[in-house]
Amino acid sequence: MFIVRWILGRIILILNFIFTPKKRKRPQDEQLKIDAETKLLALYEYKACPFCVKVRRAMRRQGLNIETLDAKQDDHKAKLVSQGGHAKVPCLRIEENGETRWMYESSDIISYLDKRFA
C-alpha cells in the first residue's frame, strides 16, 4: 500500500507542477497589505496530499504568501496535535485578535481564504 500511495503522490505532484494555476496580480501596495495579514496564517500539510494540493492551488490563484509547514516533521506534528487537537491535514492555523483557531477541512479553508482575501 505504501508503494501505491507513493506513486499516486508523485503523480499528483507532477500534475500540479504541469498545471500550476496563474498567480493573481495585485498592485504592490495592496499585495504588501495582504502579505502582512497572511503572516498570521500557517498551513500544516503533506506535500503529496491531494487535499493539501487543492488548498495550495487556491492560495496560488489568490496570490497569498502563507507559510506552509510539513506536518510529517516531529516538531510541526507535535504542535499540530497539542494545539490543534488532531494530526490531520490540511490544517490552517489562524491567529486573530490574540486567539488561535485551527481549521481542518480543505473546502472550509478555501472558503475562508476566498471570503477574507478575494
Please list, in sequence order, all residues whose beta carbon lies within 8 angstroms of the beta carbon of residue 85, skipping any fewer than 6 positions away: 102
Residue 7 burial (CB < 10 Å; 0-12/13-18/19+)? exposed
- What does the pLDDT read at residue 55? 97
Q: What's the pLDDT score for residue 72?
A: 94
Q: Which domains does the chain have, with CATH numbers?
A: 1-117 (3.40.30.10)
Q: pTM for the whole thing? A: 0.91
At 2-11, the pLDDT tens digits run: 899 899 999 9
pLDDT tens per residue, range 46-100: 999 999 999 999 999 999 999 999 999 999 999 999 999 989 999 999 998 889 9
Q: Torsions phi, psi of 44, nearest 5?
A: -90, 130
The C-alpha atoms of residue 72 and residue 61 are separated, in whole angstroms, by 25
CA distance 62 to 73: 27
In 1-118, DSSP assigns E strands to 41-45, 67-70, 91-96, 99-103
> Sign of torsion, CA 72 73 76 81?
positive
What end-to-end distance do the CA atoms of the chain give, in Å?
39
